[in-house]
Amino acid sequence: MKLGRVTATGPDGPDTRLVGVLPDEGVVVDLAVAERLRLTRAGADPVAARRIAAALFPPSMAAAIGGGPAFTDAAGRALAEPPDEAVSKLDAVTWATPIDPLVVRDCSAFERHLLNAHARGKKPVPEEFYRAPVYYKMSPATLIPGGTEVPWPFGCRFMDYELEVGLVIGRPALNVRPEDARELLFGVTVMNDFSARDLQAREMSAGLGPAKGKDFATAIGPWIATIDELDPDDLEMIARVNGEEWSRGSTASMMWTIDEIIAYASTTETLTTGELIGTGTVGSGSGLELYKKLQPGDVVELEVAGIGSIANPIGHPPEDGWRPSPKTPSEGKGG
Amino acid sequence: MKLGRVTATGPDGPDTRLVGVLPDEGVVVDLAVAERLRLTRAGADPVAARRIAAALFPPSMAAAIGGGPAFTDAAGRALAEPPDEAVSKLDAVTWATPIDPLVVRDCSAFERHLLNAHARGKKPVPEEFYRAPVYYKMSPATLIPGGTEVPWPFGCRFMDYELEVGLVIGRPALNVRPEDARELLFGVTVMNDFSARDLQAREMSAGLGPAKGKDFATAIGPWIATIDELDPDDLEMIARVNGEEWSRGSTASMMWTIDEIIAYASTTETLTTGELIGTGTVGSGSGLELYKKLQPGDVVELEVAGIGSIANPIGHPPEDGWRPSPKTPSEGKGG
């Protein structure tokens, strides 16, 4: 199945709705509407049908996935026989992010990206990247869907994209071993970890990892492809800028496997339902590696075979902004 | 006001309830119960009163704070005249984390901590710490309340605490300047950023910031003190281990001000209601700086004047666990 979220406006303003997607037919199915109608036809009164359908298909995809088979079975039924009232044209909907995770990690599982990126910085790849599928934590608050303009951070001079696959976790788990990790994977989505390279490099010198260099936009979408319908270990990945191909790769070239990534993420802490883990950038999957920079107005499209594609336009630099005034080191006399 | 969350078990299992706290009287007030009774006395029918009270005081403190004055006014009324049915003894409740943030950052605003920590590592403080109130992102999924045992990460040989104050953001804001930042601060809480120093040091060598060295537990609580009842720029902070004082400091010694921290966090991204920003560790507010390590079974108590204190016991190392098998670098032939 392909499951996503769209925004629809009613009398109380915009609402987020769960949809199943039938790309070949060019339609999406509103899952709560389909379930409400099914329940009514089966004898439920309309008010109760609406209440039960809303509980199965809330605005939060993470909460919905938490329903387990109750959710996926109902979604499957809706997509098998979608009632006309629940169907919309795919090109007429306003996409929201397909998942609303509590935690977002981004790994670095492709050795070629590490080699390319560190070669550009004239530095060796730190040994730790070979010892564990290390990650940094992204902000769940700056996820954007395809179509949304990427805000240009104040002061950024090197805007970049990162071609990744996002792994969506299906249920809580703690200290899972790789051989048991695959059953935690609910599905995959396309992920573009937009990066302000100059800001990122400066702040990474402090050792706390990427922050303002990443915390402005990560695009995900267009929907989640559930794991039963593809092989996540062999997905072709393509990036195009203004229609021109810049990057091409595959999850088949991952140094750390998806199972190892999930197992490592679950170490000492419980994975949460709906959390999102980026694979990291595929080799040559960023402008950094290609000695190319994105410009304001560029459109970056990422496509992953078996899932779909998202395209995001790059915004323009703001004219004004605030920068902290540097502090003077006290050389040992600090408070 | 002092506002927190407790866990109460009903016929459907455990529920999270919002409470106001009256520490001098040794009681907490269940805010939804108090509001429900007030509405009923004012003429609402019991079902409607329960519905309205539940909307004002949902299980999520972040969602509740989003109600703005509708929330704080109702909480103030409940605490001014608490009905007997809503009151419990403070020492009889089970605390939950006072806030459920979407985003958690941790800054490094105290120069003395930076100087001490880097001196121990025989390294200078990176210049970036003086250029901006840099932060790393914590996991919202590993926040724990006071009283909860801290899990000991597999392989950790150096367990530590960090004595911090947590800033709770009251409403969304983007690109705020320091002079306008204070009005975004809803309140403050006590924060203990537990750290596995050896794991943290190893993974920070990869440049992606702290991950497994921190992503096992951050304690917050016992409640939020709203900003109208204290001066956050002058709060005494104390850490005790097994009753013995290890650390003492004050927010008065911050190099980066609270206003600068909030302004920087809001740069290029919209702060979310209820998000949590740690000040970073006060000078000498960690074992790392004191050449001391925590041991299994130790109890770490943090106290911040004007807020309260939280105490967390340290768990025992697990006997077994999974570690990734290192990969062999391909020296340029990576996939």
Residue A43 pLDDT > 50: yes
The helix, strand and coil proportions of chain B, stated in percent and rounded to the nearest 5, come to 30, 30, 40
Average pLDDT over residues A185-204: 97
Report the alpha-carbon distance of residue A168 to residue A221 in Å, rounded. 12
How far is residue A34 CA from its own chain's centroid?
26
Q: How far is A252 from chain B (nearest CA, A)?
A: 8
Q: How far is CA A82 from the centre of its chain?
A: 27
In chain B, which residues have their Cβ closer than 8 Å to the Cβ of A275?
141
Give the pLDDT of residue B333: 47
Q: Where in chain B is the domain with CATH 3.90.850.10?
A: 104-313
**Given CB atoms, is B42 within the 8 Å cutoff of chain A?**
no
Look at B324 and A211 and tell me if their CB atoms are within 8 Å. no
Interface probe with B: pick from A51, A112, A267, most Cβ of B within 10 Å: A267
Report the chain A residue with the minimal C-alpha distance to residue B142: A269
- Facing residue for B203 by CB, picked from A128, A130, A329: A128
Angle between helices A69-80 and A46-56 (to 10 degrees): 120
Helices (H), strands (E): how many in chain B? 10, 18
Backbone angles phi, psi at A282, to 5 degrees: -65, 155
Residues B151, A253: C-beta atoms closer than 8 Å? no
A63-to-A67, A71, B160, B188 alpha-carbon distances in Å: 7, 10, 34, 29
Report which residue type is found at A317: P
Q: Do B134 and A322 touch (CB under 8 A)?
A: no
Cβ-in-10-Å burial (0-12, 13-18, 19+) of B12 comes to: exposed
> Can you count the helices (H) and strands (E) in chain A?
10, 18
- The closest of A281, A34, A235 to A136, measured between CA atoms, is A281
Is residue A16 scored above 80 in pLDDT? yes
Residue of A nearest to B260 (CA): A324
Cβ atoms of B83 and B41 within 8 Å: the answer is no
Question: Distance between CA atoms of A286 and A191, rounded to whole angstroms?
Answer: 12
> A156: burial class by Cβ within 10 Å (0-12, 13-18, 19+)?
buried
Q: How far apart are CA A46 and CA A36, in angstroms?
A: 8
B residues 168-197 closer than 8 Å to A (CB): 175, 177-178
Scanning B107-151, the segments in alpha helix (DSSP H) are 111-120, 128-131
- Which phi and psi (to 5°) does residue A97 adopt? -60, 140
Judged by a CB distance cut-off of 8 A, whether residue B322 touches chain A is: yes
Q: Using an 8 Å Cβ cutoff, are A314 and A300 in contact?
A: yes
CA distance B38 to B33: 9
| Segments of A124-275 assigned E as strands | 135-138, 143-145, 159-160, 163-169, 185-193, 195-196, 218-226, 236-241, 244-250
CA B114 – CA B162 distance, rounded (Å)? 12
Minimum CA–CA partner of B154 in chain A? A268
- Rounded Cα distance between B237 and B227, Å, is 17
Q: How far is B27 from chain A (nearest CA, A)?
A: 32
Q: B128, A206: Cβ pair inside 8 Å? A: yes
Nearest to B130 among A151, A203, A326 (CB): A326
Q: What is the DSSP string of A171-202?
A: S-BSS--HHHHGGGEEEEEEEEE-EEHHHHHH
B19-58 exposure pattern, b = at least 16 Cβ within 10 A, e = fewer? bbbbeeeebbbbbbbbbbbbbeeeebeeeebbebbeebbb
The minimal CB distance from A322 to the residues B111, B137, B263 is found for: B263
DSSP assignment letter at A18: E
What CA–CA distance (Å, rounded) separates A17 from A5? 5
Which residues on chain B are in Cβ contact (under 8 Å) with A210? 208-209
Can you tell me which residue has the tokens 């979608």?
Answer: A82
pLDDT at B332: 53
Confidence band for A333, pLDDT divided at 50, 70 and 90: very low
Give the distance from residue A94's alpha carbon to the nearest chain B alpha carbon, in angstroms: 21
Q: Which regions in chain B score pLDDT beneath 70?
A: 331-335
Q: How confident is the model at residue A330 (pLDDT cuts 50, 70, 90)?
A: confident
CB-based contact, A81 to chain B, within 8 Å? no
- Looking at the complex, report in whole angstroms how far the Cα of residue B212 sits from the nearest Cα belonging to chain A: 8
- Tell which of A107, A120, A137 to mutate to test the B interface (max B CBs under 10 Å): A137
Burial B291-309 (b: 16+ CB within 10 A, else e): eeebeeebebbbbbeebbb
Residues of chain A with pLDDT > 90: what percent? 97
Give the residue among A153, A201, A197, A200 at the shortest CA–CA distance from A321.
A153
Q: Write down how long chain B is.
A: 335
**What integer pLDDT is reported at residue A331 of this predicted model?**
66
Going by C-alpha positions, the residue among A279, A301, A191 that lies closest to residue A234 is A279
Q: How far is B292 from chain A (nearest CA, A)?
A: 21
Tokens of A237: 């990945």
The Cα of B335 is separated from the nearest Cα of chain A by a number of Å equal to 5
What superfamily does domain A104-313 belong to in CATH? Fumarylacetoacetase-like, C-terminal domain (3.90.850.10)
Q: CA-CA distance, B103 to B273, in Å (whole number)?
A: 9
Say yes or no: A335 contacts chain B, CB-CB below 8 A: yes
Q: Distances from the Cα of B271 to the Cαs of B26, B69, B92, B168, in angstroms?
A: 34, 19, 35, 11
Mean pLDDT, rounded, of chain A: 96
Q: Of B234, B238, B247, B243, nearest to B309 (Cα)?
A: B238
CA of A324: which chain B residue's CA is closest?
Answer: B132
Q: What are phi and psi of B222, to 5 degrees?
A: -70, -20
Nearest CA among A151, A206, A186 for reference residue A316 = A151
Residue A49 has pLDDT above 60, yes or no: yes
